[in-house]
Chains A and B, each alone.
Chain A
Amino acid sequence: MTSDIRSALNRRSILKTAALAGVAQITSPFVITARAADEVKIGFDNPITGVYAALGKNELIGAQLALEQINGKGGILGRKAELLVEDSTSGDAGTAVQKARKLIDRDQVNFLVGNINSALAAAMAGVSYEKGVFHMVPGGHTDPVTGTNCHWNVFRICNTTQMEANAVAGSLIKNAGKKWYYLTPDYAFGHTLQAGLEKAAAKLGGTKLGGDLTPLGTTDFSSYLIKAQSANPDVIIFLQAGDDAVNALKQAVQFGLDKRFHLAGAQQELEVLIGLPPEARTGTWVFEWYWKQPNVPHVEQFVADVRKRSGGHVPTARTWFGFAAIHACALAAEQAKSLEAVKMAKAMQGFKLPPEVALMPDSPFFRESQNQLIPNLFVGNAQAKGSDPEDLFNVTEVAKGIDAAGTLEDTGCKMTWPA
């Protein structure tokens, strides 16, 4: 009897010790992660898991390359710069907000960077504005971030959805036809991109035959595709991004829709084209940055640098977003000679990116009183294969950003500065 109890206790205490040891493994670094104070901290709150994982990883590669270059030249204002990376998830705005607060409250970051998902970017902008932290959005496109909901502290590298729509609408109508059917992701990015396209198309005589909203993370698009083909449009417009775009286009080609309609859209990305089977790489699209720009200085060097850290892959628009975002943060501090958010934001009004960061012609700049970068856009066609395994896009036209951007009044941005 007694020996029974003892052996039971022994087994229990072994289990308990094991569990405690396990917990200790997890909790002890929690104590250590309170981070050093003398470094300039950049909080990077971006998707690393989920639908936008591939895009997020490329933004991170670009950001890390920029950080290395900055620290190689003496850091930010003579202090070493540090990147604190948090996974915001791809679609959970609550987590992105929580992470933004963690970076601002606990880690006291000087800059907040993120997010790819437009909805998450907008939610994070709410936090950074409330806290007065300099915020750089690398790749969330929805208009209000630098439009109706613009804030003095929120800057953006990638284009607005309206700019993408304006840049591509003409080519779409010319190459594909006027009757459009939309498949649109059901959140901020999709809503504004479709609205932008409808507006741009209407000016050129394009019409909307119908459309469907697909939830983010949809894997089976068959019911939407059947509906789209029964509407008999000239073009089926795919506005999905990331893995959603891969799934939607792959299924459209499996259904044979590419033989009967033009499959096209607005924003397209190299990550998506790489993920597609060759026969699904079709249609007219707009890229926001492309790695083949033969006569533009510094681009070749950038491609070589990125290949070294990405296992031989070329940079995509996302890599450039991450790269430019981190450089822009550092430039803001250097320009303002300060890490105060208001001074840095003031210093960036109308600021032109230097060529080694811009990596495209016509020096992109942050438009005054909107904080939106105005870069060029690369309109063209997807191709099954090119000179390089990752040369999957044929640029036919480089649209000037300022023509696509519309006027400041059009954006609806009215900024108020803190007193």
Chain B
Amino acid sequence: MRGDDLQKRAATAIVWLLLIGAPYWLPAIGGYTELGTRVVVLGLAAMSLNFLLGYTGVLSFGHAAYFGLGAYGAGMTLRYLVPSTGLSVIIGTLVGTIAAAIIGPMIIRLRGVYFAMVTIAFGQTFYFIAFRWNTVTGGDDGLIGWTRQPLNLGFATIDILKSSVAFYYFVLVLFAVAVGIMAWLLRSPFGRTLLAIRENERRARFLGIPVDQHIWISWVISCCFVSLAGALYALLNNFVDPRTLYWSQSGDFVIMAVLGGMRSFWGPLLGAAIFVVLQDYLSSQTQNWMSFVGLFFVLVVLFFPRGVLGIIRRRATA
């Protein structure tokens, strides 16, 4: 039992060391800092989705909606309101969270495929609004004419615009906060209740747990962090377009979570890393890159249903 605990801590330490050192070891193996930032941002999105999918057992196929709302919230704050990176992240996250909180009560009674379908439907609504409202969102062309701003801390200014390494650490700090909160929540009685709902919803209900309310809270938390990821994604590209809201983007998050291993805390991050690197590398090599990503996914699902991290873990315990 203690050995198991030790192993878990060692794994967590290795993950953090790798993340903190990324700008230094990535270029050495042919990567680049912004690739690392992408992994962290999309990893955060996939981990947020997994809070709902892996720990509450509810499959959302519409998380891109809140990812995109976060992105548009951040972009439009910088474009139309104030040139402040901090504020844009806060507003972006708030926009996505509030939308999720409002939509939540309409969908939490649904289960399984019906839940997934309705989340897609809501997601597509936001997509078409962004696509059609040319004058405000820029339509299919995307929202341009803005950039993230240097970070003013009062006593010092950090230039996260010009220095991609500084921006990476800015993202990593927010990532750490978000992941820390999620880990803390999952260890709390609330998190244990979510697990109980995942394992046997009917029994949880008989025990007097307000299941719908718990799913709603889990949904809002999950969407809150996915909006944060969206806001960071917009800042990373200095650009937003409606495809961040499209259902295929939600599909990508699910793929990342499943690929990495949706029953483990760090699995989705690993899945995001594999997905982003595969996409980045293969799409430069062949025009049929999408079939290779698809093939890889099919292989993982067929042979390693617990994801890539599942394989590693099984080996460690064997």
On A, residues with C-beta under 8 Å from B are 9, 12, 15-16, 19, 22, 26-27, 29-34, 48-49, 53, 85-87, 91-95, 97-99, 101-102, 105-106, 118-119, 122-123, 126-127, 130, 149, 186-188, 191, 215-216
Contact = CB atoms under 8 A, between A and B. Distances in A.
Contacts of A22: 299
Contacts of A102: 32, 34-35, 280
A87 B283 contact: yes
Interface of B: 27, 29-35, 38, 131, 134, 139-142, 144-145, 147, 164, 237-239, 241, 243-244, 277-278, 280-285, 287, 289-290, 292, 299, 303-304, 311, 314-315, 318
Contacts of A91: 140
B235 to A, nearest CB: 13
A105 B32 contact: yes
A415 B277 CA distance: 38
A97 B239 contact: yes
Contacts of A216: 140
25 contacts: A22-B299, A27-B277, A49-B290, A87-B287, A92-B241, A93-B142, A95-B283, A101-B34, A102-B32, A102-B34, A102-B280, A105-B32, A105-B33, A105-B34, A106-B30, A106-B32, A119-B140, A122-B144, A123-B142, A126-B238, A127-B238, A186-B139, A187-B139, A188-B141, A215-B131
Given A94-B241, A98-B237, A105-B164, A119 B281 contact: no
A26 B282 contact: yes
A192 B303 CA distance: 51
Contacts of B33: 105
A130 B29 contact: no
B243 A92 contact: yes
B144 A16 contact: no
Nearest to B241: A93
B287 A48 contact: yes
B281 A93 contact: no
A395 B283 CA distance: 39
A87 B289 CA distance: 10
A119 B221 CA distance: 34
A30 B243 CA distance: 27
B239 A123 contact: yes
B318 A9 contact: yes
A142 to B, nearest CB: 8
A106 B31 contact: yes
A102 B292 CA distance: 21
A109 to B, nearest CB: 13
A31 B29 contact: yes
Given A9-B318, A49-B287, A191-B134, A15 B144 contact: no
Contact of B141 (A32, A34, A86, A119): A119
A48 B27 CA distance: 27
Contacts of A27: 277, 281
A106 B134 CA distance: 33
Nearest to A9: B318
Nearest to B295: A22
A40 to B, nearest CB: 19
Given A94-B239, A106-B30, A149-B145, 7 more contacts: A30-B29, A49-B287, A87-B287, A93-B241, A119-B142, A187-B139, A188-B141
Nearest to B312: A16
Give the 10 A-B residue pairs with the shortest CB-CB distance, closest first.
A106-B32, A119-B141, A187-B140, A188-B141, A93-B241, A34-B30, A48-B287, A93-B142, A105-B32, A30-B281
Contacts of B241: 92-94, 119, 123
Nearest to B299: A19
Contacts of A49: 287, 290
Nearest to B276: A98
Contacts of A123: 141-142, 144, 239, 241
Contacts of B244: 94
Contacts of A126: 144-145, 238-239
B192 to A, nearest CB: 32
A225 to B, nearest CB: 21
A115 B66 CA distance: 29
Given A87-B287, A93-B241, A98-B237, A122 B141 contact: yes
A19 B183 CA distance: 30
Contacts of B311: 16, 19
A342 to B, nearest CB: 17
A400 B177 CA distance: 61
A188 B138 CA distance: 9
Contacts of A33: 30, 281, 284
Contact of B281 (A26, A48, A99, A215): A26
Contacts of A99: 283
A82 to B, nearest CB: 14
A29 B244 CA distance: 30
B30 A30 contact: yes
A33 B34 CA distance: 17
Contacts of A29: 281, 285
Contacts of B315: 16
Contact of A26 (B147, B278, B304): B278
